[in-house]
Amino acid sequence: MSAPATNVIAGVDIGGTATQVVLCTPQLEIIGRATTPTPRGGDAMIDAAVGMIAGLVAEHDTELLGVGVGAAGVVDSVAGEVLVASDTFVDWAGYRVAAELRRRVGVPAFLENDVNAFLTGETAAGAITGATDALAIMIGTGVGGALWVDGRLFSGPHGAAGEIGHMPGFGDAVCSCGRHGHLESVAAGRQIALRYREAGGDELRSAEIARRAEAGEPRAAAVFRTAGRAVGQAISAVSALVDVTTVVVGGGVSNAWGLLAPAIDGYLSDEPPVSGLPIRIERSTLGKDAVAVGAASRVRTELGL
């Protein structure tokens, strides 16, 4: 007689360039993962996820209990439906992700916004495990945010709570949305590259500008200092409103942590929180797995595992 198959949860991270699936135990230990470039079109995106889930489940001889998805854009996390998607995603706005996955895979499925999933993952099994009041900031192509209040995700009535990327008050540079002075206009990867060029620098990606800053180039260092101080300012504003004690920062630009962290700390020592208590600021420890693990964590909570 063979041993009973291990119970697992699949977490899916559907991003603009790649789709990742992790297979986790109910304790959120990762036992397998797969990645593929995100195809064009809602049906193709779901096909890709379903294919990877089936492959991993077969490979590891496991019993799948549920599927969680973290996806960019505005989502209805109760209905499991995408409400608003960026131009990168074709036939995705209006897509009933949870229902389609439930039909295709035959297990309960749930959809969450990617930054909300990132925060859920980091509080469940990452850098801020057990935190009760936290802000998550994801700095990549854009800037996303999410709030964890009193031990749970706080999304607000429109799913927009904690979305600090397009909050004004950060200078007057043009933002990716076309308006001026938003946090994203100085802190997001593409915007860091634009600000560097405006300052007379070369046309480079933000990761390369970070390397120049680390090597001591003042112009590159100044752009990252502005980005980090802006993130500090956003943390200060959020903590004044909802008294978060903890912040977790992820996304590709956070790889330049050695540049960002001192600038964030610098702002917060100039403008300490009204509570008078320091705010704990951590870099993501789940890294590229954070959204998928967070989506799996949502399944664990929903199914009471």
**If binding is defined by CB under 5 A, does position 164 make contact with Zn ion?**
no
d(CA 59, CA 262): 44
| Nearest to Zn ion of 169, 218 (CB atom) | 169
**If binding is defined by CB under 5 A, does position 78 make contact with Zn ion?**
no
| Nearest to Zn ion of 56, 146 (CB atom) | 146
**If binding is defined by CB under 5 A, does position 235 make contact with Zn ion?**
no
Q: Among the candidate windows 38-46, 144-152, 155-163, 175-183, which touches Zn ion by CB under 5 A? A: 175-183
* In the complex, least distance from residue 183 CB atom to Zn ion, rounded to whole angstroms: 8
Tokens 């699949």 identify what position? 10
Q: Among the candidate windows 17-25, 135-143, 159-167, 259-267, which touches Zn ion by CB under 5 A? A: 159-167
- Sequence letter at residue 37: P
| Nearest to Zn ion of 175, 213 (CB atom) | 175
Q: Among the candidate windows 123-131, 152-160, 166-174, 189-197, which touches Zn ion by CB under 5 A? A: 166-174
Are the C-beta atoms of 55 and 85 separated by less than 8 Å? Answer: no
How many residues bind Zn ion (CB under 5 A)? The answer is 4
Q: Give ∠ CA 123-125-130 in degrees, rounded to 5.
A: 40
**If binding is defined by CB under 5 A, does position 182 make contact with Zn ion?**
yes
**Residue of minimal CB distance from Zn ion?**
175
Q: Cα dist. 142→48, 104, 186 in Å?
A: 25, 32, 10
**If binding is defined by CB under 5 A, does position 177 make contact with Zn ion?**
yes
Q: Among the candidate windows 163-171, 193-201, 220-228, 241-249, which touches Zn ion by CB under 5 A? A: 163-171
**If binding is defined by CB under 5 A, does position 229 make contact with Zn ion?**
no
**If binding is defined by CB under 5 A, does position 175 make contact with Zn ion?**
yes
Q: Among the candidate windows 137-145, 151-159, 173-181, 287-295, which touches Zn ion by CB under 5 A? A: 173-181
| Nearest to Zn ion of 40, 180 (CB atom) | 180
| Nearest to Zn ion of 160, 177 (CB atom) | 177
The correct pick among 68, 71, 115, 166 for binding Zn ion (CB under 5 A) is 166
| Nearest to Zn ion of 98, 175 (CB atom) | 175
Contacts for 48 with CB less than 8 Å, ≥ 6 apart: 19, 36, 38, 39
Beta bridge partners of 84: 74
| Nearest to Zn ion of 90, 177 (CB atom) | 177
**If binding is defined by CB under 5 A, does position 188 make contact with Zn ion?**
no
| Nearest to Zn ion of 80, 140 (CB atom) | 140
**If binding is defined by CB under 5 A, does position 160 make contact with Zn ion?**
no
List residues near Zn ion by CB under 5 A: 166, 175, 177, 182
